[in-house]
């Protein structure tokens, strides 16, 4: 095996080689003691060596990227959708590794698999769990785990999306609502309860339930239901379904705003909860801000990588750190590298058969 190929395949060559800098410095020193022609030749040779080393370094990073396997978490800010954030992460990793490149298309074709489990609305921020390599197969387990949110609700206003991004559809007084009133009704929303989500998937058969005018990430025939609604198409809603709320506590009340700390199971809608609380108080309410502080074993403070840490090395370290968060059988599954003859990059959209909550979608690329 040639020396350059050995450097590509060896795990000890994964970090950027610093030798070209030293060689270039040595070449500059040598130029002072050589005729102009020899000095020029030395410069050309040094540049060639530097370019070769750079290609080897990129190839090594590509090898390391394609070997990553497991589940980690990133910090999603307000603004982008979960899918847009995943694409941004993917593009940063591919750019760092110089992929796709002619060198890799000539070699055995590889597939970079990366996906997220648990969609956050564009207006929400917090923990977004990401799977890479065989870790994408573990994302389903993320949907069944508990989630924790900090939600700021606003009393007195209802919107068509149940949050601050929508159009105001109703306004009611809230001035007589007290902190004790809110704390007194929270028990009604704790435990195994029934909840009507903000716009579920279409029924295959009609029900006599009123149409909902709020939005979710669910789709029909490949189109977001929110898009259908915006076009004026009628969308039927399913009835209330069982969900689990482990705990709710009122953290702050400064009318018209109230802050909740909620821990819940999969398929639960914070927007619906806040709206229902407003109705229970003989008023109305919508979500002003939403932050997911925990998803499964991942927490925002300890595990979620900010965007400046979206590098191959940082993600590799995070995967190692997070491997202890999973049961042994899952850890064994994710440790096995995947072999594939697919294209350099393939994308697919996976939605669970049973309609889930706003955060219960898996996307893999």
Distance CA 268, CA 294 (A): 14
Q: Where are the alpha helices (DSSP H) in the chain?
A: 3-9, 19-31, 36-67, 82-97, 102-106, 139-144, 179-185, 225-230, 270-280, 312-322, 328-335
Q: Would you name the residues annotated as active-site residues?
A: 121
The residues, ordered by sequence, that sit 6+ positions from 264 with a Cβ below 8 Å of its Cβ are 146, 147, 148, 149, 243, 244, 245, 246, 270
Q: What is the pLDDT of residue 200?
A: 37
The residues, ordered by sequence, that sit 6+ positions from 341 with a Cβ below 8 Å of its Cβ are 108, 109
Phi and psi at residue 32, to the nearest 5°? -65, -25
Distance CA 356, CA 269 (A): 10
Distance CA 169, CA 160 (A): 6
- DSSP assignment, residue 14? -
- DSSP assignment, residue 155? E
Distance CA 163, CA 274 (A): 9
Full set of structural domains in the chain with CATH? 58-101+111-145+299-326 (3.30.70), 147-205+216-295 (3.30.2350.10)
Neighbour count for residue 235 (Cβ, 10 Å): 18
Model confidence, pTM: 0.70
Q: What is the pLDDT of residue 59?
A: 84
Q: What is the pLDDT of residue 324?
A: 86
Residue 102: burial class (beta carbons within 10 Å; 0-12, 13-18, 19+)? exposed
| DSSP track, 187-241 | GGGSEEEEE--SS-PPPSS--SPPPP----S-EETTEEHHHHHHTT--------E
Distance CA 30, CA 103 (A): 33
Query: Can you give the pLDDT of all 365 residues of the chain as single tens digits?
Result: 444 443 333 333 333 333 333 344 444 444 444 555 565 555 445 555 554 555 558 888 989 999 999 999 999 999 999 999 999 999 999 999 988 755 555 555 567 899 998 889 899 999 999 999 999 988 887 667 899 999 999 999 999 999 999 999 999 999 999 999 999 999 999 999 999 988 632 222 232 222 223 344 556 666 666 666 656 666 666 678 999 999 999 999 999 999 999 999 988 999 999 999 999 999 999 999 999 999 999 999 999 999 999 999 999 999 999 988 876 545 544 444 444 333 333 333 333 333 345 555 455 55
The residues, ordered by sequence, that sit 6+ positions from 109 with a Cβ below 8 Å of its Cβ are 340, 341, 342, 343, 344
Q: What is the pLDDT of residue 330?
A: 52
Q: What is the pLDDT of residue 152?
A: 98
């Amino acid at each position: 095996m040639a020396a350059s190929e050995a450097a590509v395949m060896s795990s000890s060559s994964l970090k950027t080689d610093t030798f070209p800098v030293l060689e270039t410095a040595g070449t500059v020193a040598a130029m002072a003691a050589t005729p102009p022609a020899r000095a020029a030749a030395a410069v050309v040779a040094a540049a060639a060596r530097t370019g070769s080393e750079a290609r080897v370094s990129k190839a090594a990073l590509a090898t390391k990227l394609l070997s990553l396997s497991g589940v980690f978490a990133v910090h999603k800010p307000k603004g982008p959708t979960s899918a847009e954030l995943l694409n941004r992460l993917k593009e940063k990793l591919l750019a760092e590794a110089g992929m796709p490149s002619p060198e890799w298309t000539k070699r055995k074709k590889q597939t970079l698999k990366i996906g997220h489990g648990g969609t956050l609305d564009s207006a929400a921020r917090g923990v977004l769990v990401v799977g890479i390599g065989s870790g994408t197969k573990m994302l389903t387990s993320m949907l069944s785990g508990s989630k924790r949110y900090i939600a700021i609700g606003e009393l007195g206003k209802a919107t068509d999306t149940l949050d601050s991004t929508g159009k105001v559809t109703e306004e009611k007084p809230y001035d007589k609502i007290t902190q004790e009133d809110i704390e007194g009704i929270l028990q009604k929303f704790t435990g195994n309860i029934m909840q009507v989500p903000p716009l579920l998937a279409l029924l295959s058969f009609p029900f006599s339930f009123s149409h909902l005018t709020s939005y979710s990430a669910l789709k029909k025939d490949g189109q977001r239901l929110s898009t259908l609604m915006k076009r004026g198409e009628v969308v039927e809603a399913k009835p209330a379904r069982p969900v689990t709320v482990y705990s709710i506590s009122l953290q702050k009340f400064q009318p018209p705003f109230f802050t909740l700390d909620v821990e819940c199971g999969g398929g639960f809608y914070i927007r619906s909860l806040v709206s229902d609380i407003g109705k229970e108080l003989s008023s109305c309410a919508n979500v002003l801000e939403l932050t997911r502080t925990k998803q499964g074993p991942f927490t925002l403070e300890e595990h979620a990588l900010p965007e400046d840490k979206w590098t191959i090395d940082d993600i590799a370290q995070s995967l190692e750190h997070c491997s202890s968060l999973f049961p042994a059988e899952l850890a064994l599954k994710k440790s096995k590298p995947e072999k594939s003859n697919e294209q350099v990059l393939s994308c697919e959209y996976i939605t669970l058969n049973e309609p889930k909550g706003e955060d219960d979608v898996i996307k893999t690329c």
